[in-house]
Structure 1
Amino acid sequence: MNDPSPHPLARFLTITDTADVLNISAGQAYSLVRSGELPAIRIGSKGQWRVERDVLESYIEAKYEESRRSSLWNQSDFGNVAEFAFGESHHRTRST
């Protein structure tokens, strides 16, 4: 059996491998890394980005937890109150 995926014991994934795991484009994965949302390190003289497999798994688990909390919040009595809506920012300004 010829498995094209990285060795199961590989500690670090390339941006392309990370994108494949998340089922997103390499550009989207790179954006997650650049923004700091997905921690990564630069390796080698060319400074290629690598994502540690355990960090990626933690990121995925955190996203599941975020989704679960959002779902629970939206099912609560406060889920439809605009001022408390999960993930939305509403800023009030004062006149000076």
Structure 2
Amino acid sequence: MGRKFYTLDEVAESLSISMSQMRALIKRGEIEGIQIGGRSQWRIEDVKLDEYIERMYEEQRRSS
């Protein structure tokens, strides 16, 4: 069974973007995340990351 949630650092690294870019994606609602735990740490569900990537591919196809 694979992991279900990833930290912002992990997602930013997998997308090859900075943490500030990652936070901007969440703030703009382009990628969905949840805040959990006592320190309200952000987590991105694997399904939401996959949806975001697929949306980006679709946007690229439409703009070509």
Q: Which range, TM-score by smaller chain?
A: over 0.9
Give the equivalent residue in structure 2 for 1:10. 3
Give 1:14 deviation, angstroms: 0.4
1:31 counterpart letter in structure 2? A
Give the equivalent residue in structure 1 for 2:18. 25
Structure 2: state its 5+ residue gaps. Answer: none
Structure number with greater Rg is 1
Name whichever structure is richer in helix by fraction: 2
Percent identical pairs in the alignment equals 44
Aligned-partner SS, 1:30: helix
CA RMSD of aligned residues (A): 1.1
Structure-to-structure mapping, 1:53-64, within 5 angstroms: 53-64=46-57
Aligned residues: 64
Please report the TM-score for the alignment, with normalisation by the length of structure 1. 0.63
Q: Structure 1 residue runs of 4+, over 6 Å off? A: none
Name whichever structure is richer in strand by fraction: 2
Structure 1: state its 5+ residue gaps. Answer: 1-7, 72-96
State the distance in 2 between where 1:46 and 1:27 align. 19
Query: Looking at both structures, which has the greater relative contact order when contacts are Cα pairs under 8 Å and sequence separation is at least 6?
Result: 2
State the distance in 2 between where 1:18 and 1:33 align. 11
